[in-house]
Amino acid sequence: MTNPLIPGPQWTSARLNGSEVMDDQIKHQISQMFFGMSDLGECLDAAMRITADDEESWVRAWTGRAELLQHRAETAERKARPVSAADAYLRASTYWRASLMHFSSADDPRTRENSLNAYHCYDRYLALSDYPGEYVKIPYEDSFLPSYLYRSPVATGPAPLLIFHQGRDAWPEDTRWLYDGAIRRGYHCLSVQCPGQGMALRVNGLPFRYDWEKVVTPIVDTALALDGVHPERIGLMGLSFGGYLAPRAAAFEKRLKVCIANPGVLKWGESIKDNMPPAVSEAQEAGPEAFNAAVAKFTAEAPVAEWFVRDSMWKHGVSTPYDLFRELDACDLTEIAGKIECETLVQDGVEERFSAGQAEKLYDALTCPKDLLVFDDESTAQLHCQNGGTATAAEFTFDWLDGRL
């Protein structure tokens, strides 16, 4: 008999917030329990304080929890209790990052302050624990990309390196299932906050760009200069929006041995407009004024869409919906996918809600050696980026990588 608190046929029907996006993001925080980066009670305490589609309640709920954990960590460190301090710093860093995951006020001082607090806490965690992570600045144009290098304690000789970045919303430090899975299997891992993401956006002021090879090439340059990295065994993985970005880079950056798109995306703009009324897409052809008016009308009645458009304009460095969708439409691999030469894994889930159908389109467009991995209901990893099923995600992803990278 179905549990009335989980009304649907799959566990994914359990909801913690009335907003589909906020619900997904809360589950993302809970998923980090597997690595001691969050705790159930702490996440549910924050969740019960969040009103659907209310960014202010979101940032306050997670900020409050982060402040409490950071205070406890600092007290433990002063009292020479490094284990307690490291554990509390780690969870505090998670909640500082969580506070900004659904907060789009670029000019609000909390955007910068909470980012810096997150990295203060994470760096204190690394200093007090034995986790093999070190901060790296990757030169990028006239700025830099904040990054962390995780060296595998079991690697022998020059070892493979997996470079990865997130997409629109999540932070790479939260994707511990990937870098922890890598280092335990003998891969070094370089997690990068790229333009439009993390502190690269919130502190360095760097927006997204469609020509992602201009981002990945300097990352590979830096990777090749790292001690212990095998120069011919470098892979790239992108998650969420990164499922477009990483393949785009792989089409031009030929030093990559493998590429993973999770989930794969052929046309990012199309995936966004598929979630909007047809009238919005049709208005785009009528020009900026008509399109901006159509988006304003739609978002006035759809809070999640209003947040997405406003948040995306900030992250892409534009000021109008029309300019935003020109940027999103430029994220198109239709004429690019055939240039990818390295072996590529395209991932997808049967409950992919944000770019449904795009993974198969990308897979079909590829002419390189390729595989399609679909997470089904039985895997319990069927959501976007395997949210809530990251143990399975690591298992399947690295089973594919082993022997290829």
Residue 5 confidence (pLDDT): 86
Rounded Cα distance between 228 and 170, Å, is 29
Mean pLDDT of the region 140-149? 98
Residue 76 CB-half CA count within 13 A: 18
pLDDT digit string (tens) for 175-196? 999 999 999 999 999 999 999 9
Element (H, E) at 239: strand 229-239
pLDDT at 1 over 80: no
Rounded Cα distance between 247 and 282, Å, is 28
Sole residue written with tokens 């589909």: 20
Joined tokens for residue 379: 């895997």
Radius of gyration, alpha carbons of the chain = 20
pLDDT digit string (tens) for 24-45? 999 999 999 999 999 999 999 9
Residue 80 confidence (pLDDT): 98
Rounded Cα distance between 50 and 243, Å, is 29
Q: What percent of the chain has pLDDT over 90?
A: 96
CATH number of 19-131: 1.20.1440.110
User: Which pTM does this prediction carry?
Assistant: 0.96
Mean pLDDT of the region 227-241? 98
CATH number of 132-267+331-405: 3.40.50.1820
Mean pLDDT of the region 273-278? 92
pLDDT digit string (tens) for 360-389? 999 999 999 999 999 999 999 999 999 999
Mean pLDDT of the chain: 97
pLDDT digit string (tens) for 51-90? 999 999 999 999 999 999 999 999 999 999 999 999 999 9
Question: Is 78 in contact with 70 (CB distance < 8 Å)?
Answer: no
Sole residue written with tokens 């799959």: 10
Question: Is 343 in contact with 257 (CB distance < 8 Å)?
Answer: yes
Pairing of strands 143-150, 133-140: antiparallel
When pLDDT is cut at 50, 70 and 90, the band that residue 4 belongs to is confident
Delimiting residues of CATH 1.20.1440.110 domain(s) in the chain: 19-131
pLDDT at 153 over 80: yes
How many C-beta atoms lie closer than 10 Å to residue 135's C-beta? 12
Rounded Cα distance between 29 and 39, Å, is 9
Residue 170 confidence (pLDDT): 95
Pairing of strands 258-262, 343-349: parallel
Mean pLDDT of the region 211-221? 98
When pLDDT is cut at 50, 70 and 90, the band that residue 2 belongs to is confident
Mean pLDDT of the region 394-399? 98
Residue 256 CB partners (closer than 8 Å, separation 6+): 220, 234, 235, 236, 249, 250, 342
Delimiting residues of CATH 3.40.50.1820 domain(s) in the chain: 132-267+331-405
* 140 closest CA partner among 226, 96, 199: 199
Pairing of strands 229-239, 159-165: parallel
Joined tokens for residue 100: 């900004």
Rounded Cα distance between 318 and 327, Å, is 9
Strand partners, 344: 259, 370
Question: Is 124 in contact with 85 (CB distance < 8 Å)?
Answer: yes
Residue 155 CB-half CA count within 13 A: 21
